Structure 1
Amino acid sequence: MTDSKEIKLYATHPHPCSYFDDREAKTIFIDPDITPSPTLYSELSRRGFRRSGNHIYRPDCKRCRECIASRVPVALFSPTRSQRRTLKRNTDLSTKIFSAPSEESYALYERYINGRHHDGDMFPPSREQFNSFLGQSSATTEYVHFYLGDDLVAVAVTDVLDDGLSAIYTFYDPEFTQRGLGVYGILWQISEAKSRNLPYIYLGYWIRDCQKMSYKTDYRPIELLINSRWVRLN
Structure 2
Amino acid sequence: MTEHKSNFPEFYITAPQPCPYLPGRYERKLFTHLTPDKPDLLIDNLLKGGFRRSQNIAYMPYCDSCSACVPVRIVVDAFDLRRSHKRVLKTNRDLMVRRKEPSADSEQYSLFRGYIDSRHADGGMAEMTVLDYSLMMEDSVVETFVSEYRLKPDPEGDGSTPLVAVCLCDQLSDGISMVYSFYDPELTSRSLGTYMILEHIQYAQSLGLPYVYLGYWIEGARKMRYKNRFHPQEHLTAKGWVRFDGKSDAPEADGCGACADRKLAPAFTDF
TM-score above 0.5: yes
Moved more, 25-34 or 157-166: 25-34
State percent identity of aligned pairs: 38
Q: CA 1:67–1:27 in 2, change beyond 3 Å: closer, same or farther? A: same
Match of 1:119 in 2: 122
Q: Secondary structure at the match of 1:20?
A: coil
1:146-165 aligned within 5 A: 146-149=149-152, 150-165=161-176
Offset at 1:41? 2.4
The residue that corresponds to 1:131 in the other structure is 134
Kept in 1, the 8 Å contact 2:102–2:138? The answer is: yes
Point out where structure 1 has 5 or more consecutive residues left out of the alignment.
none
Distance 1:131 1:66, change over 3 A: same
Map residues 83-232 of structure 1 onto 2, 5 A cutoff.
Answer: 83-103=85-105, 104-149=107-152, 150-232=161-243
C-alpha displacement of 1:218: 1.3
Q: Distance in 2 between matches of 1:133 and 1:102?
A: 9
- Normalized against structure 1, the TM-score is what? 0.92
- Show the counterpart of 2:58: 56
Out of 34, 47, 50, the residue aligned to residue 49 of structure 2 is: 47
What is the TM-score when the length of structure 2 is the normalising length?
A: 0.80
TM-superposed deviation, 1:126: 2.0
Letter paired with 2:61: P
Residue 112 of structure 1 aligns with an amino acid whose one-letter code is Y
CA contact (8 A) 2:104 2:133 kept: no
The one of 75, 79, 82 aligned to 2:81: 79
Query: Closer, same or farther in 2 for the Cα pair 1:125/1:63, shift >3 Å?
Result: same
List alignment gaps of at least 5 residues for structure 2. 153-160, 246-271
Task: Give, in whole Å, the separation in 2 of the partners of 1:218 and 1:124.
Answer: 31
8 Å Cα contact 2:74/2:232 also seen in 1: yes
Count of aligned pairs: 232
Q: Does the 8 A contact of 1:11 with 1:29 survive in 2?
A: yes
- 1:209 counterpart SS class: coil
Q: Counterparts of 1:102 and 1:131 in 2: how far apart (Å)?
A: 5
- What is the alpha-carbon root mean square deviation over aligned residues? 1.9
Considering only CA atoms, is the larger Rg found in Structure 1 or Structure 2? 2
CA distance in 2, matches of 1:57, 1:51: 6
